[in-house]
Structure formats: structure tokens, C-alpha cells
């Protein structure tokens, strides 16, 4: 079960254009949005701001969390690198839930299976289907990247087979609103949220899913844009 304990968690997810940094602990939850090209220059400034809001210093933090992707290559790389540095320098435990899992928590109170989709650009989405078991997403369709039509086909096949209700979340839903099965409920304009990021980081820590900072790698489902243009993989889903 999720609970806010007496410790301070500092977590960041920069996988989408609307990145988030959150500081959560006994004094409350403090957060900042970090958008687009401001990721690198804003990140540590935002960390200082939320620490000042909470009235704590770096040595008061007890746990580091990071959304490890998939998503923007630059954003994921910056967030993961920053988390690795903070975890190593401050000698703190580190947890790293997938960004699609974090996104799925936006629909945790609906009682439905959750289809999370993030805009991967170049006509593709990152997607996965989850069952939220006590607030923790369990993958029913593992994370993949594909054109929205292929993602929607995989989703329709699952719905027809399992006869379950599904709700869609994430900016990939908004980017391709006509691709998804007719009548599917959707949560508009959502991405990784501060509360969801904090929740999953604390659950991961409670489950003992700590990661050695030197072993943490970004979660990529395809190659960087500059290389992919010459790779000849257009139109094929990758999981």
C-alpha cells in the first residue's frame, strides 16, 4: 500500500514536454513543472526552489526517484543522469518506475484497466496496458512503440478477448484522438503527475525495488531520432 512516511522523497520525470519535479514528505508535497528546452537549466534550480518551499536542505532527503522513460531522449537522459548523480553523491536509495506506469496512475480510481499512451513523435506512440493492483500498475500489454493505428489494433484485440473496460490516459491519447476504439473513456491532458510519481516511487521503495545508481539506464524503446531516420524501421512496432 502507498503511504507517506516520515521521509523526504525527491523525484523527477522529464520524459514528456511537461516535465515534473516533486519533493514529498512530512511537510507536504511541493512540485514544479519543467517544460521543453528548459529541462537542463531549470532542473537544479527547481530542486532548490522546492527544498526552500519545504524548509529543508539536500541532506534531509531520504530517497531519490526518477521516471526512466520511455519518452523524450534528451529529457529521459537528463533526468536519469541527475538522479544517478544525486543518489551517488548523497548516498541515497534510488528507485526508477517507468514513465508509462506513472502516467497510468492518473486513472487509478476508475476501477478500469488503464491504457497509457505517450506521444513518441514521428507518427508513433509509446503505449502499454495496465491493471492497477492496489495502486501499482501491472502490465497486461508490455510497453511498446508503434504507430497509433497499430497500438489501437493491439488494444482492440485485447478488449475483444478479455471483455474488460479500458480507460485511456496520456498525451498520446490527445495527439491521436481519432485512433482509439470508439466509446473508450479517456482522461484528457494528462501525463506524469507529481502525486503519481511520488506514489509509485514510494511503492517501489516499499517493495525493495532499489537500483544501484551506476546500474540505472534510461528506458528507450527505439533509437534516437538522428539515427532512426536512417534505420529503415518506419511503420513497425517495437516492444
Percent of the chain with pLDDT over 90: 74
Residues 114 and 179 in one domain: yes
What's the pLDDT score for residue 190?
Answer: 79
Residue 2, domain member (yes or no): no
Residues 92 and 200 in one domain: yes
How many C-beta atoms surround the C-beta of residue 164 within 10 A? Answer: 12
- Does pLDDT of 119 surpass 80? yes
Render pLDDT for 120-162 as a digit per residue (tens, 0 to 9).
999 999 999 999 977 789 999 999 999 999 999 999 999 999 9
What's the pLDDT score for residue 238?
Answer: 76
Residues 139 and 159 in one domain: yes
Residues 113 and 175 in one domain: yes
Residue 123, domain member (yes or no): yes
Residue 235, domain member (yes or no): no
Backbone angles phi, psi at 25, to 5 degrees: -170, -160
CA 61 to chain centre: 21
Residues 151 and 90 in one domain: no
Backbone angles phi, psi at 199, to 5 degrees: -55, -50
Residues 130 and 157 in one domain: yes
Residues 201 and 88 in one domain: yes
What is the pLDDT confidence band of residue 207, given thresholds at 50, 70 and 90?
very high
Residue 164, domain member (yes or no): yes
How many C-beta atoms surround the C-beta of residue 129 within 10 A? Answer: 28
Residues 94 and 12 in one domain: yes
**Rounded to an integer, what distance in angstroms lies between the CA atom of residue 126 and that of residue 188?**
17
Number of domains making up the chain = 2
- Does pLDDT of 233 surpass 50? no
- Does pLDDT of 217 surpass 70? yes
**Rounded to an integer, what distance in angstroms lies between the CA atom of residue 83 and that of residue 64?**
7
- Does pLDDT of 236 surpass 50? no
- In this prediction the pTM is 0.89
CATH number, residue 46: 3.30.420.40
Residues 47 and 161 in one domain: no
Q: Look up the domain containing 143 and give its range.
A: 99-187
Amino acid at each position: 500500500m502507498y503511504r507517506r512516511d516520515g521521509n523526504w522523497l525527491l523525484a523527477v520525470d522529464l520524459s514528456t514536454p511537461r516535465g515534473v519535479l516533486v519533493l514529498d514528505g512530512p511537510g507536504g508535497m511541493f512540485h514544479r513543472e519543467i517544460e521543453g528546452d528548459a529541462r537542463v537549466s531549470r532542473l537544479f534550480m527547481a530542486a532548490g526552489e522546492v527544498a526552500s518551499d519545504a524548509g529543508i536542505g539536500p541532506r534531509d532527503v531520504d530517497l531519490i526517484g526518477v521516471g526512466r522513460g520511455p519518452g523524450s531522449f534528451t529529457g529521459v537522459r537528463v533526468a536519469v543522469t541527475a538522479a544517478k548523480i544525486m543518489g551517488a553523491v548523497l548516498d541515497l536509495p534510488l528507485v526508477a518506475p517507468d514513465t508509462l506506469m506513472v502516467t497510468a496512475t492518473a486513472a487509478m480510481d476508475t476501477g478500469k484497466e488503464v491504457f497509457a499512451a505517450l506521444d513518441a513523435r514521428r507518427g508513433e506512440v509509446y503505449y502499454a496496458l495496465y491493471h492497477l493492483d492496489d495502486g501499482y500498475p501491472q502490465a497486461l500489454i508490455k510497453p511498446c512503440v508503434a504507430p497509433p493505428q497499430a497500438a489501437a489494433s493491439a488494444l482492440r484485440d485485447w478488449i475483444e478477448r478479455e471483455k474488460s473496460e479500458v480507460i485511456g490516459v496520456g498525451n498520446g491519447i490527445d495527439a491521436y484522438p481519432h485512433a482509439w476504439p470508439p466509446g473508450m473513456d479517456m482522461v484528457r491532458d494528462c501525463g506524469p503527475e507529481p502525486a503519481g510519481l511520488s506514489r509509485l516511487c514510494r511503492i517501489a521503495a516499499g517493495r525493495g525495488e532499489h537500483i544501484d545508481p551506476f546500474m540505472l539506464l534510461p528506458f528507450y524503446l527505439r533509437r534516437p531520432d538522428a539515427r532512426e531516420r536512417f534505420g529503415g524501421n518506419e511503420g513497425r512496432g517495437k516492444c
